[in-house]
């Protein structure tokens, strides 16, 4: 459904596109596309594809594509440090500016290049001009453009994984101000992306409080004396500067005066487009072009472009013409591709040495090879034997095959090409790697890798489609240097995961039942206590009713508000006020026990199989860092800490006559960090097997390790792990219960003492900005196009993700290496031991009681030797009948 229909516009909207932002995102979204002579084409390809999709989906009548011009703007004249920190445009991106502009115009879209102002200024100027007569859709992600929102102006933000529509109402609700106040707000807080300082040490929260009483900078200037003393000390010295900052953040709305018809969509120059796409070898994009364009009679069509097109697109409602005409009709249900039926392998040709596509659907195996497709309904084990000498077997999911029949385990891991896995490795944040989605992309994506292959396929081909998809994506996997990771680690891991799923872990149902009874009793007691404190019965699970009790009836000082303006009763808010009334402590305890009951104690026993064991599914394609997850049920979030963690783990047991060994990597992420950063203090501490947190605390406090206090070690531990996950001063302040300024000083001192770490973090981000992605120890990569967003929040998030992915992703690589090695180890097999569970940095094996100790020691040796780091890998080992005892 088009945006016009979704928002129920009564007139044709005008689309104002921030082309510069789209161009930048396109460049970093995919970095490996170039012409045969090396000329980069990634930004051309993605920019035009996004625009082409929008023309197809929205069928607009009026479109403007805005791009920044060369040279400084009026803002540089006002403030010579405006955007001074931004690096120069990468040369491969600059080379694509002219082709992109040419391609936009060939699509029939009017291009507007700003001069002396920015593209954003032109967007706001035109939005102001046109909003009186029709809806305006601003297609952009820059937060500065929020100031042009109005009743007839919306923003369509497609920068993230999902689109976001911002309206005047949603802006007011989220920001608590009017769009006209946005430049004032931005001037106060500053904008690091544009090098606008703002008022030092005044962030968004404080700025909103200021604007509640001083809604404009003029009001702030006139009422500055009424501000609290500490805040006044920050604001007064900047009163003159902040008006300058507003001129930098406020859009210029008198810079464009083109009439609406100037931006009427023109017919595509299809002949010119095809020649253009041939010139830049964008064959996939060429396949996505419509077969015909709108005739010259389309409203607003003019110029020579119409004379270059042919065909007759059909008029739509209201006299509008569709650029793309009717979609190609789907094949009739009985229009099946040529296929040979086979009930036994005798009906199949020799598969030895062949590349084969293999898809299981509708209770049959579809086999594709060299233009021939077979539908096989015989036994799976016979087909597996027939494929024993195949060269490559391309299939949507090796894991699904192995789950269905163990016979597929006879084939070598080197024979498999897992299509879902390949798609995941190339883009680990796409989320959907199902075969229907991948197959659809083969026919509809239009990528040059797929277009020529798909053109030879019947739309309902299955095995041949798998083979074509493999041939299209294999080159991408190789050019991204992911072949070794896929071949040597990820595909060999698949049978390990299936073996663990089938083995499961034992469950003590009596222990679960006793635990549930105790928790239920405690919940009843807490309910009575909470209602007694409240003085009246209410629904404890209702956040609104709870807020009324806490903040109205009991008059506890309110904490934060939600984005919708409701008073928050989130745990984080309650933690901050837990000492103000005993009811808060009871509520936090109630929530913790209720989660324990509803998430684990009640549902898990119902999932136990007839073998008295719990069988989870391990997900290899679920996280952007490469870590495994589990589901149905999720055993990776079983509580391990706190007073209930040990009792929960005690409910998981070994089978009769067996015991468990739990081997847990010690501080593996910090060891990975020491390896990559080369920090001498970290390396020395790990090589000498010192307590890393005590060593860090000693550095921070200038003490000897033996003199470090428990709280000092706790603080050091918090920052050691926190910085890996991108913890900023605000969160550190909350974790350590200190002020934000103290947290900033703490972080500064940390990086001063461990200077190599800061340099390493900066290097990760710089490399990611240059290449568009980061890589882990095993060569896994994660694309980070948001590093070049104009949204500072997205940039900050991408910086944290860059560091976190390298460290956490490399730790994930190591645990996977250990799983594969343990699964293949002959000594463990001889001892009757097998891996049954993986939880983050921990592996659990089960073995007969007589051999559990040597099996555990063997597992420990394997885990400590799978990767050669600058510091030793250390594993903590425990043995026991229950997971709690072993852990």
DSSP string, 588-641: HHHHHHHHHIIIIITHHHHT--TTSEE--EEESSS-TT---EEESS--TT---S
Contact 281, 40 (CB under 8 A): no
Fold of the domain built from segment(s) 518-614: Taq DNA Polymerase; Chain T, domain 4 (1.20.1060)
Q: Is residue 188 predicted with pLDDT exceeding 90? A: yes
Q: What six digits make up the tokens of 192?
A: 């690091």
Q: Single out the residue of 57, 44, 633 nearest to residue 280, CA to CA.
A: 44
Q: What is the mean pLDDT of residues 418-430?
A: 92
Query: pTM of this prediction?
Result: 0.71
Q: What are phi and psi of 111, to 5 degrees?
A: -95, 135
Angle subtended by helix axes 710-724 and 668-677, to nearest 10: 70
CATH of domain 340-503: 3.30.420.10
**Alpha helix ranges (H) inside 772-851:** 792-824, 826-830
Q: What is the mean pLDDT of residues 57-63?
A: 90
CA distance 192 to 64: 28
Q: How far is residue 811 from each of residues 753, 781, 802, 863, 874, measured CA to CA in Å?
A: 25, 14, 14, 12, 13
Q: Is residue 584 predicted with pLDDT exceeding 50? A: yes
Q: What is the mean pLDDT of residues 751-775?
A: 89
Cis omega before residue 633 (within 30°)? yes
Q: Greater confidence, 156 or 441? A: 156
Q: Is residue 754 predicted with pLDDT exceeding 90? A: no
* pLDDT score recorded for residue 314: 39
CA distance 807 to 757: 12
CA distance 887 to 883: 6
Angle subtended by helix axes 710-724 and 729-736, to nearest 10: 150
Q: What pLDDT digit, counting tens, does each position of 301-345 carry?
A: 333 333 333 333 433 433 333 444 433 334 444 467 788 999 999
Q: Greater confidence, 561 or 320? A: 561
CATH of 658-667+813-886, one of 3.30.70.370, 3.40.640.10, 3.40.190.10, 3.10.180.10: 3.30.70.370
The domain locations on the chain are 3-249, 266-313, 340-503, 518-614, 658-667+813-886, 669-812
Q: Single out the residue of 884, 495, 848 nearest to residue 656, CA to CA.
A: 848
Contact 157, 177 (CB under 8 A): no
Q: What is the mean pLDDT of residues 509-537?
A: 95
Lowest mean pLDDT of 317-331, 388-402, 787-801, name the range.
317-331
Three-state DSSP class for residue 394:
strand
Q: Is residue 562 predicted with pLDDT exceeding 60? A: no
Q: What pLDDT digit, counting tens, does each position of 84-134 carry?
A: 777 778 888 999 999 999 999 999 999 999 888 899 999 999 999 999 899
Q: What percent of the chain has pLDDT above 70? A: 92
Question: In the predicted model, what is the mean pLDDT of the chain?
Answer: 87
Instruction: Name the superfamily (CATH) of residues 669-812.
Output: 5' to 3' exonuclease, C-terminal subdomain (1.10.150.20)
Instruction: Name the superfamily (CATH) of residues 3-249.
Output: 5'-nuclease (3.40.50.1010)
> How does residue 142 score in pLDDT terms, banded at 50, 70 and 90?
confident
Q: What pLDDT digit, counting tens, does each position of 676-687 carry?
A: 999 998 999 999
């Amino acid at each position: 459904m088009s945006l016009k229909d979704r928002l129920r516009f009564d007139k044709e909207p005008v689309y104002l596109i921030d082309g510069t932002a789209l161009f930048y995102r396109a460049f970093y979204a995919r970095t490996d596309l170039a012409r045969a002579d090396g000329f980069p084409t990634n930004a051309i390809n993605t920019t035009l594809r996004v625009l082409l999709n929008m023309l197809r989906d929205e069928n607009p009548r009026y479109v403007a594509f805005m791009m920044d011009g060369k040279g400084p703007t009026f803002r540089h004249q006002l403030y010579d440090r405006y955007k001074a920190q931004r690096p120069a445009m990468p040369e491969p991106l600059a080379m694509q500016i002219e082709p992109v502009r040419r391609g936009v115009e060939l699509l029939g879209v009017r291009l507007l290049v700003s001069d002396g102002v920015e593209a954003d200024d032109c967007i706001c100027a035109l939005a102001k001009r046109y909003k009186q007569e029709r809806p305006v859709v601003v297609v952009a992600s820059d937060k500065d453009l929020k100031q042009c929102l109005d009743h007839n102006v919306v923003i369509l933000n497609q920068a993230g994984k999902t689109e976001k529509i911002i309206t005047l109402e949603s802006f007011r609700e989220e920001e608590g101000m009017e769009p006209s106040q946005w430049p004032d707000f931005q001037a106060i807080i500053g904008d690091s992306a544009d090098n606008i300082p703002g008022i030092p040490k005044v962030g968004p929260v404080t700025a909103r409080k200021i604007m509640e009483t001083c809604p404009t900078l003029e009001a702030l200037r006139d009422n500055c004396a009424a501000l609290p003393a500490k805040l006044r000390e920050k604001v007064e010295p900047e009163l003159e500067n902040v008006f300058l900052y507003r001129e930098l953040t406020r859009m210029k709305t008198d810079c464009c005066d083109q009439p609406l018809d100037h931006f009427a969509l023109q017919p595509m120059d299809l002949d010119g487009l095809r020649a253009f796409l041939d010139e830049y070898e964008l064959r996939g994009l060429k396949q996505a072009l419509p077969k015909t364009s709108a005739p010259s009679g389309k409203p607003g069509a003019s110029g020579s472009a119409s004379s270059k097109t042919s065909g007759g697109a059909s008029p739509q409602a209201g006299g509008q013409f569709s650029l793309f005409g009717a979609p190609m009709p789907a094949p009739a249900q009985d229009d099946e591709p040529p296929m040979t039926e086979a009930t036994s392998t005798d009906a199949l040709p020799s598969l030895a040495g062949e590349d084969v596509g293999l898809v299981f659907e509708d209770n049959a195996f579809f086999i594709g090879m060299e233009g021939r497709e077979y539908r096989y309904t015989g036994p799976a084990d016979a087909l597996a034997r027939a494929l024993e000498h195949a060269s490559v077997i391309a299939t949507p999911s090796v894991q699904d095959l192995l789950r269905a029949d163990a016979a597929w385990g006879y084939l070598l891991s080197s024979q498999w090409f897992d299509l879902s896995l390949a798609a995941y490795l190339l883009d680990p944040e796409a989320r959907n790697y199902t075969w229907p989605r991948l197959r659809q992309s083969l026919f509809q994506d239009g990528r040059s890798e797929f277009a020529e292959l798909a053109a030879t396929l019947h739309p309902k081909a299955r095995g041949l489609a798998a083979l074509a998809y493999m041939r299209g994506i294999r080159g991408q996997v190789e050019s991204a240097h992911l072949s070794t990771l896929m071949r040597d680690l990820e595909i060999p891991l698949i049978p390990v995961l299936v073996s663990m799923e089938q083995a499961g872990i034992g469950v003590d149902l009596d222990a679960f039942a006793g635990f549930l009874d105790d928790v239920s009793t405690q919940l009843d007691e807490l309910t009575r206590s909470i209602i007694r404190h409240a003085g009246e019965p209410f629904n404890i699970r209702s956040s609104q009713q709870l807020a009324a009790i806490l903040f109205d009836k009991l008059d506890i000082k309110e904490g934060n508000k939600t984005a919708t303006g409701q008073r928050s009763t989130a745990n984080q808010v309650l933690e901050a006020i837990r000492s103000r009334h005993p009811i808060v402590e009871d509520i936090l305890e109630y929530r913790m026990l209720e989660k324990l009951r509803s998430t684990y104690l009640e549902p898990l026993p119902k999932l136990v199989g007839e073998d008295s064991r719990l069988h989870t599914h391990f997900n290899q394609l679920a996280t952007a860092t490469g870590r495994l997850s589990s589901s149905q049920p999720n055993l990776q979030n079983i509580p391990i800490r706190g007073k209930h963690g040990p009792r929960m783990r005690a409910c998981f047991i070994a089978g009769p006559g067996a015991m468990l060994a739990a081997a847990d990597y010690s501080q593996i992420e910090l060891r990975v960090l020491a390896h990559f950063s080369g920090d001498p203090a970290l390396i020395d501490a790990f090589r000498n097997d010192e307590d890393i947190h005590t060593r860090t605390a000693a550095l921070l406090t200038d003490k000897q390790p033996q003199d470090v206090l428990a709280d000092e070690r706790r603080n050091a531990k918090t920052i050691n792990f926190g910085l890996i996950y991108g913890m900023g001063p605000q969160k550190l302040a909350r974790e350590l219960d200190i002020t934000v300024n103290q947290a900033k000083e703490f972080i500064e001192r940390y990086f001063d003492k461990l200077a190599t770490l800061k340099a390493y973090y900066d290097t990760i981000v710089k490399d990611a900005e240059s290449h568009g992605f980061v890589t882990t120890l095993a060569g896994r990569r994660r694309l980070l196009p948001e590093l070049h967003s104009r949204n500072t929040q997205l940039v900050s998030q991408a910086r944290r993700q860059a560091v976190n992915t390298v460290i956490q992703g490399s730790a994930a690589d190591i645990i996977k290496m250990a799983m594969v090695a343990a699964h293949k180890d002959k000594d463990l097999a001889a001892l009757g031991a097998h891996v049954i569970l993986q939880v983050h940095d921990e592996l659990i094996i089960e073995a007969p009681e007589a051999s559990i100790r040597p099996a555990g020691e063997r597992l420990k040796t394997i885990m400590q030797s799978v990767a050669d780091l600058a510091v030793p890998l250390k594993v903590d080992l425990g043995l026991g009948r229950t997971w709690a005892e072993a852990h």
